[in-house]
Structure 1
Amino acid sequence: MEEIKINTDYITLDQFLKYVGIVETGGQGKQMILDGLIKVNGNIELKRGKKLRKNDIVNAMGKEYIIK
């Protein structure tokens, strides 16, 4: 599990995907989310504006990330 540090109260899911380099554009992130390829805390997440906060766990592209 990779720890991702953020300096704000939250980061949105689509911003997170760009921040960690999973996608290069917001459009790619949106499509991955709509295709049901991203899990947040074990559940498929379909909202790109989902607010990720500290200790949330994101599964994407076979990797697991925790927000710190």
Structure 2
Amino acid sequence: MAEQIGIKTEHITLGQFLKLANIVESGGMVKLFLQDYAIYINGEQDQRRGRKLKINDTIEIEDIGTFEITKED
């Protein structure tokens, strides 16, 4: 079961998502994190911190877990 991460906007970047999900503490840590962990967005590997994530996207992070972007009211 995927952990749900709610956003109030139409999309969020991968870097913002990593901070929102408390996976990294700061934006500066995002680049290093992306070098060390394989990230799959909807089954496709993508390491770009600027990648836009939309509602219902699924993010799988090796050794960490699976997350789903949901709409927050």
Counterpart residue number, 1:27 = 28
- Which structure 1 residue ranges, 5 or more long, are not aligned? none
Aligned CA RMSD, in angstroms, stands at 1.4
1:1-68 pair list within 5 angstroms: 1-60=2-61, 61-68=63-70
Q: TM-score, normalised by structure 2?
A: 0.81
- Does the CA contact (< 8 Å) of 1:2 and 1:64 recur in 2? yes
Deviation at 1:58, TM superposition (A): 0.7
Matched residue type, 1:33: L
> Which structure has the larger Rg?
2
Which deviations, in whole Å up to 9, do the C-alpha atoms of 1:5-59 show, x marking residues without a partner? 1100000000000011000111211222244522211122121100000010011
**Mapped partners of 1:37, 1:25: distance in 2:** 19
The runs of 4+ residues in structure 1 deviating greater than 6 Å are none
Q: TM-score, normalised by structure 1?
A: 0.86
Q: Which has the higher strand share?
A: 2
Matched residue type, 1:64: T
Aligned residues between the structures: 68
- Percent identity over the alignment is 41
